[in-house]
Amino acid sequence: MLERLRRHFEPLFKFIAKYLYVNPNMLTLSSVLISIPSPLIVYFYNCRISILIVLILFIISSLLDAIDGAVARMYGLSSKKGAFLDSTCDRYVDSIMIITAILICSDDISKIFLILTLVGSFITSYARARGESLGVQLRGIGFIERGERVILLIIFFIICYLIYRSNIFNIFTRYYTLILAILTNITAIQRIVTVCKILK
């Protein structure tokens, strides 16, 4: 779904890339390095301020990840190595975001749903990588791809910050993480089914 909207944001990314002459691989690596402290911050200081801090870190990380491709195209620095590094770093950031969300939740059911979300996100990514290695194009296939998943997680952190430890905090985390788990794994199944149909 987000793939259809990406072209509307491309002019903005190009505008930023025009004034950001840096190696795109450095931007990719920076997106991971910025997010790494997040689970530690929440683990040692589980409070509203810590949630706000990790929210800011993840927003910056996501922006860097969105811009690196535009910079690579702007200056003719696109490469297979860069594409591989970008996909690999995305998996790290995905894991860090979900682990941070797990640490924020005080409800065990919510944590289980987030673990299922993590599994679904990796199966979704693996299905695309393996499928495309066999000649099946899967870009745009699936109910929610990585972009939508990241946005949903950022929304999760925003709401957690706003209602932290209120009476509805556990109720919210339980149902929101359930939705995340369902949507993520539906996407994984969609990709598996698509590959199986094409390769039959």
Catalytic residues: 90
Helix 48-74 with 2-18: angle, nearest 10 deg: 80
CB 102 within 8 A of CB 165: no
Question: Tokens representing 173?
Answer: 């985390």
Which of 103, 110, 147 lies closest to 125 in space, CA to CA? 147
Return left, alpha or beta for 45; rule: phi > 0 is left, psi -120 to 50 is alpha, else beta.
beta
Handedness of CA 165, 167, 150, 6 (dihedral sign): negative
Residue 154, both tokens: 């950022």
